[in-house]
Amino acid sequence: MPPHYLDWDKQPIPFKIYTTLDPIKLSIDKPYANVPVLKALRYNVSTSVKEFIPELSTLAQLLFLSAGITKKKKYPGGEIHFRAAACTGALYHIDTYIVTKEIKDLEAGVYHFDPNDFSLKRLRKGDLRPVLVHATGRDDSISEAPMILICTSTFWRNSWKYQSRTYRHTFWDSGTILSNILAASSANEIPVKLVTGFVDKTVNDLLGLDITREVAVSLLTIGITENETEDREINLERLSYETMPLSREEIDYPIIGRMHEASSLNSIEEVSEWRKATIQTPINKPQGKLIPLKLEQDPLSNTTSDSIGETILKRGSTRKFSRLSITFEQLSKILYFTTRGIPSDFLYSLDTTLNDIYVIVNEVDGIPKGSYYYHHDKLSLELLREGDFRRKAGHLGLGQDIPADASVNVYFLADLDNILENFGNRGYRAVELEAGILGGKLYLCAYGLGLGASGLTFFDDEVTDFFSPHAKGKSVMFLVAIGKSGSKKLSFTGA
């Protein structure tokens, strides 16, 4: 292990704060999304619906439920502000920007969302959506969108603790934010689509980013217009707004920059070529015992869950599980509603996934303890090995008690060789981002059903070895532990 330690004198602030820009204060004058969380996760609003142009109040609700501050906790050294979506180490290195046409109560422009004072800061005036239409090779959803949300990552705000592994966290943590937006948009019947194919330099220049420190990682369309935006190159003035220093010193981890550059797209031609790549989910023939999920004919019937707004407001990261059992009905609903699809430009269809789901069951009423593979096309779990693997689950999760005490551990694994062969290096971003979104959905399902959840890191190769020979050749992307909380207190210091 390298001689790394947490230098608290260098800890970065968890916000990007523009010091010279006036805030446009946001407020929420509508009730939080009042649709049951499972229903919100089940439906993805098609982009073929009639025109839908969000108002500023709707945008404010989406920003609050995805990246806003939902809780504050004082401690001897100060105060921590916790956000709506899970983030590794509660370090909050993901920022969100809005590129919009003129909407009710907001002029056209490019804006940065500042959760610290719940405001927008305008970076550029005018309708600059044509820049994104051009950068994405005229992606249909971008050209039809009245508004596009952009997620970025400021590496140092996470690498202060996690070093180069921050590049992986970039997609986990933007994924959990996006899972909240997808669910809140579904609850409000707003069409959205995730777009990951774009010329990196163009998008970074539009936002005025110092790419040695912060980079754009994904676009999300919000709403739909009847009039398409034209594809047009625009000469942009260089932005040079002052921002508050993150810390007294920043440490660069060069491998992060090299990885990001290696997975960047540098021209419209590269974007067009990348977008041709698709992967249909292979149909895996079961080799072991199949256990069908325990679902009603309509999985939403006889289901009580909190609303999406209530769920997001109460969500934390469970730091202690009770080792009590959850029901097979609960696990079935979690797996079913998590995998209802992600509207994106890298998936063949809503029933396609780049990640496979593997499970360690420690304590679930109705099914044996053991390791499983989830066949989402058959809505069934395949028993790989029966046995008590609590101790092993704890070891795989870096020797922590959390995965050992949880009722269930859900792992996302992927065939990286196949993905990189089809998508090139950009495929790494896509598969990690999908894992982050699926992990975020697991959080929402679990908390909506009254359970707890915690995202965790792991020993990569040992996870693959444990699930092999079934998982031979695959790489683990993300891990979420689920169960009943062992105490009433929740910690927000982890994912």
Three-state secondary-structure class, residue 258: helix
- At 5, the pLDDT band (50, 70, 90 cuts) reads confident
Residue with tokens 């992600």: 342
The two beta strands, 109-114 and 408-414, are unpaired
DSSP 161-179: HHGGGHHHHHHHHHHHHHH
**Residue 398: predicted pLDDT:** 93
pLDDT of the residue at 28 = 85
> If you write DSSP's letter for every residue of 4-70 in order, what string do you get?
----GGGPPPSS--BSSSPEEE----SPPP-SBHHHHHH----TTSSPB---HHHHHHHHHHHHSEE
Q: Can you tell me the distance from the alpha carbon of 289 to that of 282, in angstroms, rounded to the nearest whole number?
A: 19
- Please identify which residue in the block is written with the tokens 């000469």: 235
Q: What tens digit of pLDDT does each residue of 447-489 get? A: 999 999 999 999 999 999 999 999 999 999 999 999 998 864 4
Tell me, what's the pLDDT at 52? 92
Mapped onto helix, strand or coil, the DSSP state of residue 72 is strand
Pairing of strands 475-483, 452-456: antiparallel
Calpha distance 342→349 (Å, rounded): 8
Instruction: CATH 3.40.109.10 in the chain: give the residue spans.
Output: 8-275, 290-483
Its CATH architecture, for the domain 290-483, is: 3-Layer(aba) Sandwich (3.40)
In the predicted structure, residue 410 carries a pLDDT above the cut 90: yes
- Quote the CATH superfamily of domain 8-275: NADH Oxidase (3.40.109.10)
Q: Give whole-number Cα distances, 192 to 45, 54, 149, 363, in Å.
A: 7, 11, 10, 37
pTM: predicted TM-score of the whole model, two decimal places:
0.95
Contact 369, 286 (CB under 8 A): no
- Residue 349's pLDDT is 83
Q: Which residue has the higher pLDDT, 30 or 346?
A: 346
Q: How many CB atoms lie within 10 A of CB 354?
A: 28
Q: CA 487, CA 477: separation in Å to the nearest integer?
A: 29
pLDDT tens figures, 97-113: 999 999 999 999 999 99
